[in-house]
Amino acid sequence: MLQHSSSCIEAPNMSSAVKEVTVKLPRSHDRPEEPWYRYLSIDVIWYVLGYTVFHPFVSWVVVLCLRAQYTPYGNPEMRIAIAWSILMSAIGIFGIISDRIAFGSPREVDLAEEVIVITGGVDGLGGLLAETYGMRSANVAVLDVKTMDQDEAEEKGVVYYQCDVSDAKQVEAAAAKIVEDLGVPTILINNAGIVHKKSILDTTAEEVEQTFRVNTLSHFHTLRTFLPHMLREGRGTIVTVSSVLGHLGAANLSAYTASKAALLALHHSLRAELAQIPEAKEIKTILVTPGQMSTQMFADVNPPSNFFGPTATPADLGKSIIKLIEKGESGEVAIPLYSHWIGFFFVLPVGIQQLIRRWSGLDTAVAVSRKLAEKN
C-alpha cells in the first residue's frame, strides 16, 4: 500500500541558471541480447510507410521522377502515381481541416512564460517529462507522494512538493506554494496513478477506493485547483493520462480499468465545458491513451504479441506529448498503433471481438504473471 503524506512540503526557490546535467548513455552490453525480429512491429512498419508510401511529398516526388524520365501523362504508371498523390494530399488536407474544426487554432507557447505542474512526476512517464523540461530550464513543479531529496530535485531542474493528489486540501496547499515559488501554473499534466493486480473478488473495498482516489478523483482536485488560474491567464494546457484499457477493460485489473475509463468521460466533459467558456479559448486539452508501458507498474506483465501489441516506452509517449504541448495544440496521443484505432474494435461483431480478446491474451496476461510470481 502507498504511504500518503498528510501535508505538502515547502520547496526551495530554484535558480534560473542552466544546470549541467550528466547523462549516461546506455552501452551496447547493457542491453539484453534480442533477435532482430523482436524489434520489428506493426508500429515500425506503419511509421516507415507514413514517411514513404503514404506521405504526400514523397508521392509527388515519384510523379516528378516519372516526368524526369519523360513518361507521358497518359501512361498507366503516370496516371496511377498522380491519382495516388492527389489522394494522399486530399487525406492530409482533410486531416488538417478536421483537427482545426475539432481543436481550434493552436496557442503560442513560450516555456519561459509557462509553469508546468506534473502529478506522479518522480518516476515513470511523469518523471521523464519532468526531467526533460527541467533540463531545458522550464519551471517545473512535481507533485508526488514518493520522496525526492533536494539534491536530486536540483539536479533534475525541478521543484518538488511531497503531496497526495488524492487529497483536495493537500493539492490546494501545494498550488498556493507553486504560485508563490514559480508563478501561475499554465500547464497541468495529470499523470499520477496506481494499480492493484487482483480479481474483483480479491480486491478489498479500501484498494478500490484508493485506486479511484488516486487515478480519478485526483484529476477533479487538480482541475478545480489549477483551472481557475488558467482561465484568469487566458491560456493553458491540460494533459489527461488515461489508458487504452479504459476502453477495453481487462481481467484482474477491474479497479484500474474502471478508474481509467472514468478519465475518458472526464476528458470529453472537460472539453465540452471549456467550449462554452469564452475565457477558455486558449486552453488546450490532450488525452493520452497508451497501451502497456515499459514502466515499473506493469514490469511483470509481458505483452502477448510483440509484433501487434508492442510495449510502449515512456520516451515514445513523452516525445508525442511534448510535441503537442509545445505546438500549443489540443489532440490525442495513442501509442502503440492499436491504441489509436481501438474504436474500430467495437464496430466488429461481438463474436469477432471475443475471438480477438482470446487470441490477444488480454485477459490472461496478468493472471499468468501472478502465477509466475507465486512460483518464484
Helical segments of the chain, H only: 42-50, 56-68, 76-103, 124-135, 150-156, 168-181, 205-212, 218-233, 245-248, 254-274, 314-327, 337-340, 350-360, 365-375
What residue spans of 40-195 are helical by DSSP H?
42-50, 56-68, 76-103, 124-135, 150-156, 168-181
Which contiguous run of DSSP H or E holds residue 287?
strand 283-288
247, exposed or middle or buried, with CB in 10 Å at 0-12, 13-18, 19+?
middle
Instruction: Using the CB atoms, write b or e for 333-371: b if 16+ within 10 Å.
Output: bbbbbbbbebeeeeeeeeeeeeeebeebebbbbbeebbe
Residue type, 126: G
Residues 6+ apart with CB under 8 A from 253: 195, 197, 245, 366
Block residue for cell numbers 531542474: 157
Residue appearing with cell numbers 505542474:
117
Catalytic residue status for 256: yes
Q: Describe the crossing of helices 124-135 and 314-327 by its angle, rounded to 10 degrees.
A: 50
CA distance 266 to 218: 12
Cell of 302: 509481458
Distances (CA, A) of 268 to 219, 263, 273: 13, 9, 9
From 133, 160, 161, 256, active-site residue: 256
Amino acid at residue number 370 = R
On whether the CB atoms of residues 219 and 213 are closer than 8 A, the answer is no
Phi, psi at 363, each rounded to 5°:
-95, 0
Q: Which residues are catalytic?
A: 256
